[in-house]
Amino acid sequence: MKRRRESGNMVAGRNALVRAMKTLLAALCFYALGLFNCITYTIRRQYRNLHVIESECRNRYSSNTCHTLTSNSLFLSTIVSRVHKFSVLKSSIISLGQLRKHQVIRYEYVPLSPLSAHRLSVVKRKILVLDLDETLIHSHHDGIIRPMVKPGTPPDFVLRVNIDRHPVRFFVHCRPHVDYFLSMVSQWFDLVIFTASMEIYGSSVADKLDNGKGILQRRYFRQHCTMDYGGYTKDLSAVHADLSSIFILDNSPSAYRKFPQNAIPIRSWFSDPTDTCLLALLPFLDALRFTSDVRSILSRNQQLQQVW
């Protein structure tokens, strides 16, 4: 009798274990199916957005650009039809992100009317001072253990410089649309680079951004800054004595602490490929060049920019 009881208990234990394993397997299958449906829905939604981009492209841009987007749409339609394959699914997500990052965006530049051209001729040409790190670019070097950029993201370029006789590699990522931004504002203003970084690094970054165009000739570095409250402050009066025609674009309010009426703040950038802050500034900058004193406009945001 005792053996029969033990045998019965073992059978009951096995049955309970089998039922538990079946329940766990069913739960895992249900979870995997839900995850698969979510990913599939996301890709199909992005695929539908491509048709919107394509139709807008046909209305606004050249046939060559439309052909590029159409080719990408056909490629993505093939991916969606084979979404059950994990390897293809992974590559489709990457392709969607890259397409969104590089979609064509342009600022509609309208030729000046005679009245606007006359107004522009009677005011001084302004000077736009540009910061580098976290404003136009973001970089990290070999010694950074936890970079802000997602691991595996390729840099736009790599700089090799010697600091204190030690070779250091900087992996530089450019803010989205920075090249187009510089090409536009260089037509409206005289550009000046003013960075709190060391000259050996900042000069190399400026050379890359300039790319032989000659639009970033004037440059100021850490040695031109002043220490204030434990940070570097940029003296705009050292760049240009007439403060009515100079302003700075910088992500750090402490950098323009003494010149809040001559500053345009911008959100710090590290790695977001969908960032459009530089593009969003173009209409405002286009209008700012017509004013006789930039402080009459920029001082309206002074309270928002003040650092306590």
Separation between Cα atoms, residue 104 and residue 54, nearest integer Å: 11
Q: Could you confirm whether 207 is annotated as catalytic? A: no
Separation between Cα atoms, residue 83 and residue 57, nearest integer Å: 27
Separation in Å, CA 59 to CA 52, 56, 99, 116, 117: 11, 5, 19, 28, 29
Separation between Cα atoms, residue 138 and residue 275, nearest integer Å: 13
Catalytic residue among 131, 142, 210, 228: 131
Identify the DSSP state of 133: B
| Residues 187 and 151: beta-carbon distance below 8 Å | no
Report, in this order, helix, strand and coil percent for the chain, each rounded to 5.
55, 15, 30
Catalytic residue among 133, 190, 207, 275: 133
Residue 264, Cβ neighbours under 10 Å: how many? 20
Separation in Å, CA 169 to CA 136, 144, 155, 193: 19, 11, 12, 22
Amino acid 298 reads L
Phi first, then psi, for residue 160 (nearest 5°) are: -120, 110
Q: Could you confirm whether 190 is annotated as catalytic? A: no
Residues forming the active site: 131, 133
